Amino acid sequence: MEEQQNSCPSCGDKKKDMDKSKRKKLGLSCMLNTEVGAVLAVIRRPIDPTAQFISPQEDHFDSSIQQSLKSLRGLIFNPHQDWQTIDPCIYLSPFLDVIQSDDIPAAATGVALSAILKILKLEIFDEKTPGAKEAINFVITGITSCRLEKTDPVSEDAVMMKILQVLTGIMRHNASVLLTDQAVCTIVNTCFQVVQQSVTRGDLLQRSARYTMHELIRIIFSRLPDVEVNEGENSESETEDVDENSGYGARCAVDIFQFLCSLLNVVEVVETEVSAWHTADEDVQLFALVLINCAIEVSGDGIGKHPKLLRMIQDDLFHHLIHYGTCSSPLVLSMICSIVLNIYHFLRRFIRLQLEAFFSFVLLRIAAPGASLQLQEVALEAIINFFSQPTFVIEAYANYDCDPICRNVFEEVGKLLCKQAFPGTGPMTTLQVQAFEGLVILIHNISDNIDKEDDSSTSEPYPVEITEYRPFWVDKPKDDLETWMEYIRVRKAQKKKILIAGNHFNRDEKKGLEYLKHCLLVSDPPDPKAFAFFFRYTPGLDKSMIGDYLGDPDEFHLEVLKEFTGTFKFKGMILDSALRTYLETFRLPGESQKIQRILEVFSERFFDQQSSEIFVTKDSVFILCYSLIMLNTDQHNPQVKKKMTEEEFIRNNRAINGGQDLPREYLSELFHSISNHEITLFGQSGSVEMNPSRWIELMNRAKSMQSYVLCDFDRRLGRDMFACVAGPTIAALSAFFEHADEDEMLHECIEGLISVARIAQYGLADTLDVLVASFCKFTTLLNPYASAEETLFAFRNDMKPRMATLAVFSIANNFGGALQGGWRNIVDCLLKLKRLRLLPQSVIEFDVASTSSSDVPEALKSESAVFFPNHDPKFFKRQTSVMVSRFSHFLSLDSMEESISLGMSEFEQNLKIIKQCRIGSIFRNSSNFPNEALLNLGRSLIYAAAGKGQKFSTSIEEEETVGFCWDLIIAISLSNIYRFQVFWPSFHDYLLAVAQFPLFSPIPFAEKAIIGLFKVCLKLLASYQADKMPEELIFKSINLMWKLDKEILDTCCAFIIQSVSKILIEYPANLQTQLGWKSVLHLLSVSGRHPETYDQAVEILIMLMSDAFHISRINYAYCIDCAFGFVALKNSPLEKNLKILDLMPDTVNLLIQWYKTAYSNPGNNYSIGSNTSTSLEDNSKAIGSISFTTSLFVKLGEALRKTSLARREEIRNHAIASMRRSFQLAEDLELSSISCINCFNLVIFAMVDDLHEKMIEYSRRENAEREMRSMEGTLKISMELLTDLYLQFLKQIAENPGFRTFWLGVLRRMDTCMKADLGEYGETKLQEVVPDLLRKMIRNMQEKEILVPKDGDDLWEITYIQIQWIAPSLKEELFPDEL
């Protein structure tokens, strides 16, 4: 039960299917019955419809036709037929008999055709039905044999339209795959016959016929990609065997395509007819082009699988397209260009030379000035369509421009667009706008591919250098991408050098060929093939010079001639065509021997390549060549009155072919060819046409040439290719922007400008500079003759200045790293905006949070509100799409109406525009600039700050401008502090250079520089730097600035003391170089000279010396100098000076420590090895050595000595006291005898001598007794110090060989003081002191047995004599034995 229940649904479905099939069969039967009845009814209809009685008409028609129809009717319902299994011929034959009958009226024929069409549409049979193949081909035979004898034109048109519908129905039927190639060709031929006949009939029939033809081509060729390639198709034979059971395929496609190409020649047939026929012929030609285009569109790259069809496109079709492309109407040319574009899409791998020829002979010629405007527009449109393809630009450059034997297709087209887009004096034309749009498309195409975000490839190097010899004529397949890329870039470099060599060659043959060798374009020893290809393919060479070179008898020249001739492909040419092609490349020399040599080589080449066996020997060719040249002269020389006849020419050339005659037809053809078309024997200039011989040679070359290379964009190639057209492109953009008025055109100009910058950033710095300079002039900011009011008015009321300003600063923002000289223009614009007060409050919009208050004191903030941040080097990502969108926003929103509605003033509107430029981010992002760009930006700013190229109306304006420039210089310096040692040496050189400017003024330049440089200095010293070079560099520049004008130290003292204070208080440990300490302490000393900064400066010094932690061997001397500078100041507070003098002796303890440790520095990690100072004083000796320590001590002593000469007695006496203390502490320095004597000579003796001199000087002044007595008191103290120190170091001094001289020096000073003449002020009180001092010294010397009578030592005697002069009263006391 369950199984029966389960089977019930299945049984029900089967029953339904059976009923459906039965209904379908019945429906088909009814349909056939209806069609049979309709045909019979029309046949039975009376001939004369006006007759009163209808009589049977069967006798009028073939009874067999009616009988076959009746038989079919009887078969239809008895029984119900399964039409899918019945041979279709059974129910098709009766209708086809009606169609082929001569006696059947047109109405019946039309009904029969409708019946067949309905049978086809209802698909009563398909390709699997038995007999389907015979039936479908039988239908075609019947349709094409249609007879229309008894009819009128209207009925005939109706039948023809039915025929067209049936033909289309056949091709759309599933069984159409069973059609033979011949049947398909018959269908197309029949349809075209209807097209031809419809020319004189109604327009409806013509339209229908053409539409049907189009549909047939579409159906036939759409099957081509699925057709299997037969082995026979690869052969040259036209009668290869074809499998009849496989249906129609490539053979019919070839025949049909050949037929369509032949339609293009209709113009030649009617060329001499009246002009009314030209339109019709052009119409047929256009119709053929539409069909050809359809065939290519639907078959696509499937054509590439079928060699014969491909060869037809390569040869016949392209030859026709190029020929008619140069002499056709705009409509035909447009269709031709569309066909070539479609061929490029699907088959470009096979049409390398053909595509080059199409550009050379069609597009470049028609698009150039001279052709009609309509044709130029069509050609430009075609060029734009090509350049809009994603890969055409790069492929054209790689396949043609980088090949030395091809034309520079990309470069020539690019320059043509620039030329056509360049505006004239009149209004802008549509052609100029069209060319401009094409140029912009070209630029965008390159920029979008070269500036991809995910492209990490390099763009270096540029340009490519030729480092080794490579045969430039050898093409290399694209195996490895990187190797191939390098290869074609070198080939492009070779091509450029070849053109240069050609230029040299035209001036001097030897120089040109030597240049080839110099550029490694010719091997060593020279390869004749290299010269041959140079002569053959270098454009613009002097043809006379080529001919003379090739005809030279030298052996090497003969080899070059053979190689040169070997570059020609003469296969398939007749002799005169080959000779024309050969002689077009050079001028045949006038010397007979040279002509003979050249023709001999040509004859041999032509003989080897002749397609037929007409010539028996190469001598036959040689003789006939001479004969043709003579004939050419005879026929075309106006001086020859009696011209040679054909018979004479044939007679003159009898028996020259190995003793036999050449075919008469061949000679006759040559004669007429020469007579009608002269051979240019002398390299006459003029436009070269694509004649049949040149086309044959092109096809021969194509067989051996590398196929078209498919490639994607590469950054290096993109940059190289744009460099070829960069100059004209920028000129065209600038000129178009200047003349354009519409906002949309201006917007496109700016977008093109940005795209050029996107390309130029990859190694084309010169291009980017020119671009910036070109558009800066449109900002109106650099007009030296415009007043501020005029500039502001133009800026507000004209869109161009605003757009140009936004564009220029956008380039600086996004591509500043690639700019070089262009920075000067940008800086000039920026300064003009500053003067116009159009810059926002914060020019440099740095992140304020990144600038901590501890880094820069409040007083260091710039006057221009420029903040100086910490540097965090990050790579900023350019977003050019966002940048371009900002222009759209700018154009759409920044209208005057909107500004007025917002209540904005003119100044506020201008300020709003400038804010969109994001000027501040230029300097913020300078941290990502390459070194070269950063140096150029810095140089522009420094030169501008120095006044180069600037004109100031007032001193205030000058000061503001200079300050602003220095703010920007410091901003970029702080942003790039991490590479300070890389760029600042160049910046310092720029500072040196501006100081040499003829009209340079250090004020206010140096003032602003000092302020800015200290900001950088503080930034550098804020953290410990392992590298001391940055510190050296910045202080070197600081010193340079204040030395330009020492008044700067006075005007900037407040700022200087704050900077120095911060350095010495917060960053003393990071100050590592001698130059740094010397500069800081010198400026500290200078700051003490000013009353308003003295207190702060002296406190810093006292703090430094009190702590003494940061006093090191490299800064000790500078600290002492600084301390002396403060003490020596007039009217300075006494207590401060005394404090300093008290601190100075304490530093001796440091000297003692350094002496004992020798190579370590307590409190500072300085060592001998770390001393890389480049200061003026050379202290690079062993800093920890005894001599160095002694020299530092002497430095201290000399400072105190000079202080002992101060005007105030308290300071003098305190200085001597400090000196005493210093020498007492110096006991631990273990001074040697020489050191002791040096100290005495440089410090003590000098101090005594100076004080004595001062005392004498005062004694000679009037009313100066008080000063003189005060100085006498100081001298007394100094004499006492001399005595005490002498006794302290007596032991070391006595050991010195020069002790005798030293002792005499002591005695001499005692004598000088003893006998000082004070004039009117009386006796000196020193007379009371000196004897006591002498007594003290001599007693001590005697006790130590230093001063005792000795043999060979006259010290005792000399001392005795001196005492007699100095203090005779001591003689008895000290020298009793001498009495």
User: DSSP characters for 952-966?
Assistant: -SSHHHHHHHHHHHH
1165/818 Cα distance (integer angstroms)? 43
641/635 Cα distance (integer angstroms)? 9
Residue 946 identity: A
Catalytic status, residue 742 = no
Calculate helix-pair angle for 1134-1146, 1186-1203, nearest 10 degrees. Answer: 160
Residue 376 tokens read as 């130029």
Nearest to 1101 by CA among 1143, 1135, 1131, 1067: 1143
Whether 1172 and 1073 have beta carbons less than 8 Å apart is answered as yes
Please enumerate in sequence order all residues whose Cβ is within 8 A of that of 107, keeping only pairs 6 or more positions apart, or say none.
42, 45, 155
Cα separations (Å) of 1100 from 812, 1068, 1104?
45, 12, 6
From 453, 591, 1177, 1373, active-site residue: 591
CB atoms within 10 A of CB 503: 15
Helix (H) / strand (E) element for 206: namely helix 203-222
547/595 Cα distance (integer angstroms)? 9
Nearest to 981 by CA among 924, 1063, 942, 1037: 1037
Residue 505 tokens read as 């060659």
CB atoms within 10 A of CB 879: 12
Helix (H) / strand (E) element for 63: namely helix 63-76
Please enumerate in sequence order all residues whose Cβ is within 8 A of that of 1105, keeping only pairs 6 or more positions apart, or say none.
1111, 1119, 1123, 1140, 1143, 1144, 1146, 1147
User: DSSP characters for 462-530?
Assistant: SSPP--S---TT-----SSHHHHHHHHHHHHHHHHHHHHHHHHHHH-HHHHHHHHHHTT-S-SSPPHHH
- For residue 1353, which phi and psi values (nearest 5 degrees)? -130, 115
Nearest to 574 by CA among 563, 582, 586, 565: 582
Whether 413 and 724 have beta carbons less than 8 Å apart is answered as no
- For residue 369, which phi and psi values (nearest 5 degrees)? -55, 140
787/430 Cα distance (integer angstroms)? 37
Residue 1048 tokens read as 């700067």
Cα angle 1031-1035-1036, degrees, rounded to a multiple of 5: 110
Whether 1120 and 1195 have beta carbons less than 8 Å apart is answered as yes
Residue 784 tokens read as 């030296």
Q: Is 610 left (phi over 0), alpha (psi -120 to 50) or beta?
A: beta
Whether 850 and 869 have beta carbons less than 8 Å apart is answered as yes
Mapping DSSP onto H, E and C, the string for 359-370 reads: HHHHHHHHHCEC
274/258 Cα distance (integer angstroms)? 28
Mapping DSSP onto H, E and C, the string for 596-654 reads: HHHHHHHHHHHHHHCCCCCCCCHHHHHHHHHHHHHHHHHHHCCCCCCCCCHHHHHHHCC
Give the residue carrying structure tokens 């090497």.
Answer: 556
Output DSSP code: residue 448.
H
295/260 Cα distance (integer angstroms)? 10
- Give the distance, in angstroms, between the CA of residue 335 and the centroid of all CA atoms in the same chain: 36
Residues that are catalytic: 591
